[in-house]
Amino acid sequence: MRDIDPLFQAISYYRRRKFEQCVEVTSTLLEKNPNDQVAWLLKMRALTEQLYVDETEVADDGLADMLDDNAFHQTPMPGTSMRQPTAITNTGMSGPSPAMRPTTMTGRPITGMLRLNSQSTQGGKSMENALKTARTAATARPVTTATGRFVRLGTASMLSTPDGPFLQVGRLNLPKYAQNQAVSRSLFEHLFYHANDVRAALQLATHANEVYQNKDWWWLAQLGKCYHRLDMFRDSEKQYVISLEIQPMVDTYLYLSRIYLRLDQPLLSITKLQEGLEKFPFEPCLIQAIARIHEGLNDMKQSIEHYRQVLKLDNTNIEAIACIAANHFYYEQPEISLKFYRRLLQMGVATSAIFTNIALCCFHAQQYDMIVACFLKALGCATTDDERAEIWYNIGEMALYTADIHLAIQCFRLALVHNNDHAEAYNNLGLVELQRDNNEIGQIYLQTAQSLAPHMFEPYYNYGKSMYEQGDLQSSFRAIKSSLDIYKNHADSKHIYDELRKMFSEL
């Protein structure tokens, strides 16, 4: 059989998304004839595709972003900003109390799905606090937006070609390429995603916009993306808005909403997304973005409402299903949650987390026969230590409910073996030890939990209570105060607090 034409083969590889083979073939083609523009372009696209990420999902908040004053208002009205300190969240907010539904580090109720930005530690913390707290393997954040993920991508591109990078970015004649419509867009994406040279990409986009006299929405949106990546939000916003005027696009609306989130104006972000919905009424991405923002604002009702809308449009949306399921679980409707989790399993999403959740739902729905099976399945599916830790912690929880103290202790210990930073496990372990009258050990466990998870009120309350019982009123008072700082309306903490105050005032 005769060899097929290498160029055709390369295109075929590219079409079948076999980018590595495609790069190999095009590289040989380019060795033969360095001026082969088709091969060059194809190689460039193949390299880009390897590292292509959906920008609408990226833009993690970096640690260093808390150094900036991007937000306009420092103390906005409640419910209009993402930067609410934990203390205020539960006053006048709809949704379950932190006692019922655990919170994330930002003081927001835990969501049904782990995603970027759901773990940020912006709210009400000083720089030092944020640096110190819990930057464990599971919660590590990039230092800045521009570093982090993007640098990793950049280095990856360098490794893929041992004899130096594919393009010498510094040597490119950007104005010339900007003229060439066939190449410029691919080149831009290559610079942006593969070479990770945002500045060069920005220059190219600027030149291209000159060529098109600011009439091409795509280039305007790309210019906005460059500014976005450089954290120049206002410039970015301007470009996105112009781009939308020329050609409304779902992506651009999503980018714009992200910009407003970074400027801490979530309501404006929602407004923009709704504008987008008028143009694209059946676009689940836009509704999903709205749902996420409502979730961030602790407005669970609205959030779930929007997730339901997403499901009506796209009944395989994992995030929506998971969030609704989690919400039902925390609203004490585990049976309904089970239905949603079953749906997830039917769709083939069989992760350990889902099995764990199903087990918990079963427990609360009193279908005890399923629990062990589910936990076993979950342990079987678990791939990382973190997941195992969570599973063992939950099994321990079950053991506590069934008053099997020894099993519980063993489970919590196992959880700690897998993840040494598991604050909840430390907390429960501490409680168990206190119950067994091992006061000192228990208190140490609780203190560990406090230092690991400053966003949880439980270790403080437990510690305070134990100290109160032991008669160390000063320590108790301090701990109870911290607990109340985190969760203002915690009735038990309040009770002890009032008692203590009465006692102190009598002195």
Partner 1 sequence: MLVPVFSLQLNTKVFPRTVSVGKFNGKQSCLVGATAGNKVFIHSPRDVNLQAQQLDGNISLLNVNQVVTSLGCGQLDEQLKRDLLVVGTSTNIVAYDMDRNVDLFFKDNPDGAHAITIGQWGELPERLAIVGGNCSIHGYNKKSEDVLWTVTGDNVSSLALLDFNGDGYNELVVGSEDYDIRVFREDQLIAEMQETETIVSICPLDGARFGYALANGTVGIYERSNRHWRIKSRNIAVVLQAFDVDGDGVDELVTGWSNGKVDIRSDRQGEVIFKESLSSSVAGIVKADYRVAGENLLICCSNEGEVRGFKFSEQDPNALTASLYRDRQEAIRDLAQKKQALLIELEHLDDAIKHSKDTINKSTRRIVSDSSEAEIPAQTEIHTILTVEKRQNDSPAHIAVRMKTSNNTIIRVVAIFAEGLFKGECLVIHPAVNHVKESIVVPIIPARDAAVDLHIQVFVGFKSSTLFHIFELARPLPMFSMYMMIENAPDQEPKGFVTFYLNERIPRALAWINHNFLLAEEYAPTAPSLYVTFLAIRDNTRLIIKMQNNGQITIQTDDMELAGNVIQSMGKFLNIDDLQTTGDYPHELEILQKVFAEIEEYQIARQRISSDMAEHSNIIRSFLIRAEDARLIGDISFMKRNYIDLLNLNRDLIHGYKIRCTNHEELMKKLRYLNQMVQKAGNLRIGKYKTIAINQCRAAIKANNAQLLIKTIKTGNV
Q: Which of 3, 128, 278, 437 binds partner 1 (CB under 8 A)?
A: 128
Distance CA 472, CA 468 (A): 6
Q: Which of 30, 58, 78, 475 binds partner 1 (CB under 8 A)?
A: 78
HSE-CB at 242 with a 13 A cutoff on CA atoms is 18
Cα 289 to Cα 285: distance, rounded to the nearest angstrom: 6
- Annotate 370-402 with b (16+ C-beta within 10 A) or e (fewer): bbeebbebbbebbeeebbbbbbbbbbbbbbbee
What is the 8-class DSSP label of residue 232?
Answer: -
Piece of 5-13, 126-134, 381-389, 424-432 that binds partner 1 (CB under 8 A): 126-134
Given candidates 54, 69, 440, 506, which one binds partner 1 under the rule CB under 8 A?
Answer: 69
CB 309 within 8 A of CB 329: no
| Count of residues interacting with partner 1 (CB under 8 A) | 52
Q: How far is the CB of 55 from partner 1 (least distance, A)?
A: 17
- Binding-residue pattern over the window 91 to 120 for partner 1, x denoting contact by CB under 8 A: x-----------------------------
Query: Does residue 126 belong to the site contacting partner 1 (CB under 8 A)?
Result: no
50, 257, 265, 317: which one binds partner 1 (CB under 8 A): 265
Nearest-5° Cα angle at 233, 228 to 234: 135
In the complex, minimum distance from the CB of residue 161 to partner 1, in angstroms, rounded to a whole number? 24
Pick the closer one to partner 1 by CB: 147 or 161. Answer: 147
Which one of 264, 319, 397, 433 is in contact with partner 1 (CB under 8 A)?
264
Q: Which residues pair with 109 in a beta bridge?
A: 103
Binding partner 1 (rule: CB under 8 A), the pick from 6, 12, 56, 76 is: 76
C-alpha closest to that of 227 among 146, 148, 142, 117: 146
Q: What is the full DSSP assignment across 83-150?
A: ---HHHHTSS--S--TTTS-B-TTSPBPPSS--TTTT---TT--HHHHHHS---TTT---SSSSSTHH
**Closest approach of Cβ 131 to partner 1, in Å?**
6
Give the nearer residue to partner 1 in terms of CB position, either 179 or 470. 179
Which tokens sit at 127?
A: 């720089």
Question: Among the candidate windows 31-39, 68-76, 285-293, 404-412, which touches partner 1 by CB under 8 A?
Answer: 68-76
CA distance linking residue 109 with residue 300, whole number of Å? 9
* Structure token digits, residue 4: 């097929």
Min dist. Cβ of residue 325 to partner 1 (A): 31
88 binds partner 1 (CB under 8 A): yes
Question: Closest CB to partner 1 among 116 and 143?
Answer: 143
Residue at token pair 């060899």: 3
Site track for partner 1 across 28-67, x = CB under 8 A: ----------------------------------xxxx-x
Q: Least CB distance from residue 123 to partner 1, whole Å?
A: 11
Q: How far is CA 196 from the centre of its chain?
A: 22
Element (H, E) at 477: helix 473-486
Q: Which of residues 192-251 bind partner 1 (CB under 8 A)?
A: 198-199, 202-203, 206, 226-227, 230-232, 234-235, 237-238
Distance CA 281, CA 302 (A): 18
Tell me the C-alpha distance between 408 and 398, whole Å: 8
Does 169 bind partner 1 (CB under 8 A)? Our answer is no
Q: Left (φ > 0), alpha (ψ -120 to 50) or beta: where does 231 sit?
A: left
* Stretch 268-307 residues interacting with partner 1 (CB under 8 A): 268, 271
Q: Any contact of residue 127 with partner 1 (CB under 8 A)?
A: yes
User: Which chain residues interact with partner 1 by CB under 8 A?
Assistant: 62-65, 67-78, 80-81, 84-85, 88, 91, 127-128, 131-132, 143-147, 198-199, 202-203, 206, 226-227, 230-232, 234-235, 237-238, 263-268, 271
